[in-house]
Structure formats: structure tokens, C-alpha cells
Structure 1
């Protein structure tokens, strides 16, 4: 019996080890792919081009792709086309009756919606890849014939995006945590060493003083602390059970609570907002590059970092997606019905419709404060960059993604360990019988 219990424990921990090893291997594959260049481009000329025009939207795209855009690798456009397609499909599923009906069909409906999302990813990745190829070709740094270059670039970049989408799904299924979020986080984390080197170089060149460098580091640490505090904040709604069955007996008058996070949407709103802004701004900067004065050039300037139009659009997009994503994942009517069926109620609130309205009000207030918190964190570096005129590498969006995804990964890892412990306890009880 002891041998059986020991073997079950070893098997459970070996499964966790396999998941972590697979996750690490997938991230290594992602980083290897970020260094595989698309053929037909002069690497030295590309590096000079990015160094001279690598700010603003290009810098954000390069950050999310883990430096792939700077190297013009097969992962240059990253996972953003998939995220943009997900936004479009989710918005359409709230508007179109046919897609709304698919959402109610369970697993079969979700598979069809996932298929539509993949089709949309291919379309958006193709358009974005063609825009990238047009921009690179117009810079006279291509050493291959035009047709061959456009064909190879579009196929390589679209294939890279689809591979990242598949890799993220495999990481979610066979690893721990959300694979797409981990890929984005790994891309951001890969730029931290270069960011530290950039800060040290500015310090050595006397571009910034020692007090400013210390202030930057302390400011980043303070922001991390603030994000951790807000992400750990909970609103506990009291729940009262008049009669609750516990095994073969009934427990009377039990009290508990229902926890609601302050930031219920997580990192989805800033990621969605960034992708929404980056796509048209990037196309405008690429397609409007050939002319010095047209509406595309002006649009690219308006959507540049630190510009009022960019700040207003970014803030409005974050607030919108906070409410939109929370409405997708939270149904107060369904939660109120589940409480009523289980014999639970909120003290002072009548079960049913009043409970649904009360929970909806709680969530709406939390979403308001959560949206303000996320918007403030994401815009603080924008205002500081404009006021102090210092190139910040780690922006508010990337910092929020790093901290939140790390906390979520730690939570899911602890949850998985707890699940394995419960399974071992079940195995022990069965072995005793």
C-alpha cells in the first residue's frame, strides 16, 4: 500500500514536471524562432533602418514580438493578428444573431467560433505581412527580386503567426497557464536585459544623471508594488446559506463570501487596446512613408506615443474593453440563479432578480475602478516620457502584463498542485477501502 501511495505521488509530480518542461521548451522554441530571419533582406541595412526609425509604434510592436521585428524574423508580426481577430469575432458574436446562437451551443459552438477566429487571423496576418513587405521593400534594403521577396515574406510571416497561435494553444493545453499571454510575456521579458543595458549606456554617456537613473528604477519598483496590491484586492460579497447539505447531514446557517477581483478583466484590455491602436497606426506609418504630406502620414503622427490623440484613444479603448470583457465572462443573472438553487442569498437582498441587480451593480462599480487603475498604470510612463524626456523601455502596458501574467501563472501553478494533492488523497482513501 505504501509503495502504491509513493508511486502515485511520484506520478503526480512527474506530470507537473512534464508540463513545466514542455512550457520551457515551447518558450525556447519561441525565442529561437525570433532569431530566424526572413530571406532576402540586408541585415546590416535593416539594423540601421530600425535604429533611425525604431520609436513609437514600431518600438511597441518590436516589444510585443520579443525583438522579432527588429531582426525581421519569421515571428516579426507576432501574435497580434490572432488577438485582433479574437476581438473582432467576440464583438461580432455580441451583434450577429447567428454567432450569438453558436455561443449557446456549448463545445461545438466554441469550436466553430475558434475556426472563424483562425480564418480571421490568416486574413489579418496576410494584410499585415503585405504591409510589412511593402514597407521593407520601399527602403531599398532588399537583395532579392520583388516577386520572390513578397511571396517569401508573406508566407513566412503568416506561417510564423499561425505557428505562434498553435504553440500558444499547446502551451495552454499541455502546460500551465494561458499560452498566448505567456508568449507575450516572454517577448517582453526578453527585452529587459537590453533595456537595462540601454539605461546603463545613457548613464555612461551622461545623457541622464545618476539621480534620474535611480528614480527610474525606484519608479518601476513602486509601479510593480502598486500593481501587485491592486491585483490582490478583493471585494467580498457575504453569502448566507439557510440550509446546506454536508454529506448525509444538513448544516444550518452557514456564512461565507463571494470574492470579486478589483481588476476582473486582467491584462486583456491593455492588450486589446494596444492591438487596436497598433494595427491602423502601423499601416499608416508604412503606407504613408512614401509621401511627406498625406492623411496617412498625419494619422501616423497623431497616433504616435505621447500625442493627445493616442493617449485619449488608448485610454478610451482600455475602459471600453474592461467593460466589454467583464460583460463577456460575468453573468449576474446566471450567478443569482445558481445561488437561489443552492439555497444561498445575500443578506438583505431578495433572491432572484434583486440579487442579480445587486451583483451587477457591484461588478459595474468594480469595473469602473479597475478601468481607472489600468488606465493610470498604462499612461503613467507616457506622461513621464513627455515630461522628463527620457526613453523608457518598460512601459505601463508591458509592466502590467509582466506582473499580472506572473501572478496568474503562480496562482494556476498552486491550484494545479492542490488538485494533485486532492487526487492523491482520493487514491489513499480508495486504497484503504
Structure 2
């Protein structure tokens, strides 16, 4: 007898015990993080709460995850119950559906627990690795399907061109994500270091916001005939042009992504906070070559524009090659590819570090990439290698994603030196 998941897939719906995935948790984290910018007491927890404040924010995100998971699970179960004249579920009653919703929510929290265990006992950040598995999990199947479609002809343009474009996009992503402007600083004792300002200052967040703003245009499509007589030309144009695949939609999304990239950099990237943080620790930015004051703001506009172009170029290049070749071989979209490459950079770096080092010791944890980069620079000056877990993935999320912490690990033989650096330059024991 065909199982529930198999029957649902036959009807065009993917359904399993883990159908909710991590999205309710990720959404809750994003909502809490945005609310912490404006809402008391969340704002106080975020700014002055320290580790206790972050724990409270995490607890708030967990409670919100329950609510979002129930809402999402209810919508999924009720949609499934209405398909095939209600014959998919063995019982269409409210009690059975409610039990199924609770089961989906419990399965979601099981995934979150597994992710936590990976972070504590394994290699890499658990949430990141689960997201990576979701992105790349279907690639082998797509690859085999492409080979069957083109009868094993690896030289077929419909197969070769997407692969070359994918390889080129990966090279570009690695280059862009590893690029950073190093701002030199000096402490009162003469110690010099640098903190990084990544070229991709706003991560990938402008993309979902741009698509969301474009989706809002459909609110202008009338729902009643009286209004329809007035706005028919506008609504007809929106329906005809503002959907994926059209030139207007592509151009509008590209422009919005670049604009939002610049706006996000201006709103959330705060050099003044960096200067205050350094001043509290008796450090200052080293003057420029002419002896004048070095401006951290210098070049931010051009960096934001370059980052926006990059965020447009990668997805559009992949979409363009799929469209021009009329191929069904579409293993991954652009933003998912950026996320997958960044997680892979984090994971490969930690694997190599663990392979070369003895047992590791966790000496610090950060939520701002530039602080983690500053500690790495200080440790390098002391000839102490370290690894920052989740650095590249966390940089993509910027403020939107407190679920990716950045713990710093050193070899056990270097623990005393590393803790001395933390005590002298970060005021932490």
C-alpha cells in the first residue's frame, strides 16, 4: 500500500514527517532579530544583555517557532486533507489533523535538536549543515537525470554549458566572499592588528526583500468589478509583466536588489559602533599613508554597489543559461549556490584545521563577523592559528539570523596564549 508521502508526491505535493524543515525556526529568528532593533525589552537584551540577553532572545525565538510551526503545519495538513476529495488522510476529522500538526512540529524540533548536537559534538554548525544538505541533496539525482536525458553525451551543449556556468559562478562566489578590506588598528601597548570589512557588506538579504516588494505589486490587482473598470490597464500590465521569467520582472528585481543592497549597508553597517568598541579597549584606527585620519566610511558606497551587482549577476547568469539553452538541467539557483559555497568554505576550513591540530578548545563566541576577524588577526600576530566556525555563512545573514553563532577554536596547546589575548584586548577572561 502506498504511504502517505508517496501518494502525496503522486499528486504533486511533497509531504513527509519533516515537511516543515527549519523554515519556521529561521523565520522566527529573523523576526526576533528585527524586533530587537526597535522593541523593548528585546533591544536591551540585544545591546546590553551579554550572553544572558542572547539566551533570552533565543528563548523568544523558540516560543515564536512553536507558533509559526503550528500555523505552517496546519496550513499544510488542511491543504493535504482537501486534496483528492479528502481521501488522502485516513481521518479528516479535526482531532486527527491536530495530532498530525503536532507531529510535524515535534519533528521540526527534532531537526533543531539534531542541529544542536552537530554543533556541540561534531564538525561545523548544525543548522548550516542541514541547510547545505537540503540544497545539494537533489544535485546527484538531477545530474543522473541530465545524463539520461542527453544519453550520456557529456559534450552536449545543453549539459556542458550549464556545468561550465556553474563552475564559473562558484569561482566568482569564492573570490567575492573571501574578499575583504582590512582596516589596520593599533592598541595602547603598540600591538597592531586589523579587522575585516567584507566586500559583500549586506550578504544575501536584499534578494528576498526585493522579491517580497515585487510580490506586493499584486495588491494593486483589483478584486471587485467596480474598481476593475478604473484600474484594468494597470492590473493587466502587472499580471502580464511582473512574474518570474519576464524581462520587466528581471530588470525590476535587479534594480531593487542593488538599491536595497546600498540601503541595507547604510542602515545596518555602523562604523561608529566599531570605533566606539575599539576606543573602549584602548585601540584606534591607524592613520593613512599621509598621516591623516583614516575614514572607515571610505569606499562603502562603491563596495555596496559592487556587492549588489554580484548578487544580481550570479542568479541571473544561471537563469540566463537555463533559459537560452532551454534545458531542464537546473541543479541549483543562484542564491542557494552562494549559501552552499559559503557553508562549504566554513566546513572545509574547519575540517582542515582539525586535521592539522590536536584537540580543539573553544575560547570565544561572536555574532559580528568583524569582531571574529579582529580576534583572528590578533591571534595570527601571536602565531596562534585559529578557526572561526560559521564565519562565511554568518556574514551572508548579517543581522538576520542569530541562529548562526561564530565560536572561535584554537589548538589545546595554544589555549593559554589565546586566553591571554582575549584578556588583554577583548576584556574577557
The two structures have a TM-score, normalised by structure 1, of: 0.65
Which among 347, 358, 379 is matched to residue 287 of structure 2? 347
Aligned partner of 1:228 in structure 2 is 174
Unaligned runs of 5+ in 2: 217-236, 358-384, 387-408, 418-429
| Mapped contact 1:41–1:142 kept (Cα < 8 A) | no
Tell me the CA shift for residue 138 of structure 1. 2.2
Count the aligned residue pairs: 340
Distance (Å, rounded) in 2 between the aligned partners of 1:82 and 1:274: 22
Correspondent of 1:385 among 308, 311, 322: 322
Given that 1:176 and 1:413 are in contact with CA atoms closer than 8 Å, whether structure 2 keeps it comes out as yes
Partner of 2:365: none
8 Å contact kept, 2:210–2:253: no
Corresponding residue number in structure 2 for 1:423: 412
Q: Is the 8 A contact 2:5 2:16 kept in 1?
A: no
Cα pair distance change 1:170/1:363, threshold 3 Å: farther
Does 2:158 match 1:199? no
1:79 Cα deviation after fit: 0.7
1:75 partner SS: coil
Give the Å deviation of 1:403: 0.9
Which residue of structure 1 lines up, in the alignment, with residue 103 of structure 2? Answer: 156
> Would you say the 8 A contact 1:266–1:404 is kept in 2?
no
Q: Distance in 1 between matches of 2:100 and 2:261?
A: 33
Residue 80 in structure 1 maps to residue 23 in structure 2 = yes
Q: Distance in 2 between matches of 1:322 and 1:273?
A: 13
Structure 2: how far apart are the matches of 1:154 and 1:399?
A: 32
Partner of 1:94, secondary structure, is coil
1:405 equivalenced with 2:343 (yes/no): yes
Does the alignment pair 1:332 with 2:332?
Answer: no
How far apart are the structure 2 equivalents of 1:115 and 1:121?
10
Distance 1:322 1:414 in 2: 35
Structure 2 matches for 1:282-293, cutoff 5 A? none
State the shift of 1:274 in Å: 10
Deviation digits for residues 66-99 of structure 1 (CA, Å, limit 9, x no counterpart): xxx73x1111121111111122112212222432
Whole-Å separation in 2 of the counterparts to 1:325 and 1:84: 21
Q: Which residue of 1 aligns with 2:163?
A: 217
Aligned to 1:135: 79
String of CA shifts for 1:205-241, please: whole Å, max 9, x gaps.
99x98122111111111111111111222223344x4
1:181 aligned residue: 128
Structure 2 residue matching 1:236: 3-state secondary structure: strand
Q: Give 1:257-272 correspondences, 5 Å limit.
A: 257-266=194-203
Q: Give the superposition deviation at 1:311.
A: 7.6
Change (3 A) 1:127 1:145: same
Q: Which residue of 1 aligns with 2:402?
A: none
Q: 1:426 to 1:384 in 2, by over 3 A?
A: closer
Q: Which stretch shows the higher mean deviation, 408-417 or 230-239?
A: 408-417
Name the one with the larger helix percent: 1
RMSD: 4.2
Q: Which residue of 1 aligns with 2:312?
A: 375
Structure 1 Cα separation of the partners of residues 290 and 39 of structure 2: 34
2-structure distance, mates of 1:174, 1:95: 35
Q: Please list every run of 5 or more consecutive structure 1 residues that lacks an aligned counterpart in the other structure.
A: 1-38, 51-68, 246-250, 281-297, 429-433
* C-alpha spacing 1:422/1:202, structure 2 compared with 1 (3 Å): closer
Task: Provide the TM-score with structure 2 as the length reference.
Answer: 0.65
What is the deviation of 1:318?
8.4
Residue equivalent to 1:11: none
Per-residue CA deviations over 1:13-43 (Å, capped at 9, x if unaligned) read: xxxxxxxxxxxxxxxxxxxxxxxxxx99644
Q: Quick check: 1:84–1:275 contact (8 Å CA) kept in 2?
A: no
Q: Is the 8 A contact 2:166 2:318 kept in 1?
A: no
Which residue does 1:48 correspond to in 2?
10
